[in-house]
Structure 1
């Protein structure tokens, strides 16, 4: 199952709040557009220790979207997300337990998990199985591998 040629993905570490909003530790985005179908644009913003906000950690980089390794990672990520459930209601609970969200958008798939942003998130009617939690961990690892990949 091949990933779409145009998509946007955002991974955010730090999604679960309590009495205060969540502390965001990192935001990574991957974009492949019809304007540049041979490029996967990668942006990374992290919160340096002791600071209140995430900061762009480097200039955006372009990965070769036609590279076999990059393509296989993106295809694997897409196939994982197509299989994973979302919490119900949206934003009620971090069902994967990683304090991490992934948002993926394309013409063929809209997928976004979340967690309670502050008090009163409630409990999700949908729970992730241990196998689904492992698949989500793999999806997160793939994003990190793409972000860390040399351009």
Structure 2
């Protein structure tokens, strides 16, 4: 595994956040409220922050000061967006990739691996929504 950022973040109590790509509208605002609550409590969230709603949650979390763990479904990038670079510099984010630099894009297979790692790293899971026909359902049923 490749790491970028403060590995001490792994020592925090961690809530894993997962959500299917397709989400009913009634779940979205509840999830935003949950993200803001976690930010205000200073809870460490671990996620891939890949789906639209996961990206929105990440945006809310970045406005706080709590630690964050980002697990990628691809290799580590060479350049990071300014808000991520700032969080890395402030030692409040840990970025993890289980993939070699040959894996440049995420795929269904790499996303499945990423989600299993999120599940393993987390002390508890927050599942905002599981699409009955989606991939997320398959990993949640397995240990």
TM-score interval, normalised by the smaller of the two chains? under 0.3
* TM-score, normalised by the number of residues in structure 2: 0.27
RCO higher in structure (CA 8 A, sep ≥6): 2
Give 1 or 2: higher helix fraction.
2
Output the TM-score relative to the length of structure 1.
0.26
Q: Point out the structure with max Rg over C-alpha.
A: 1
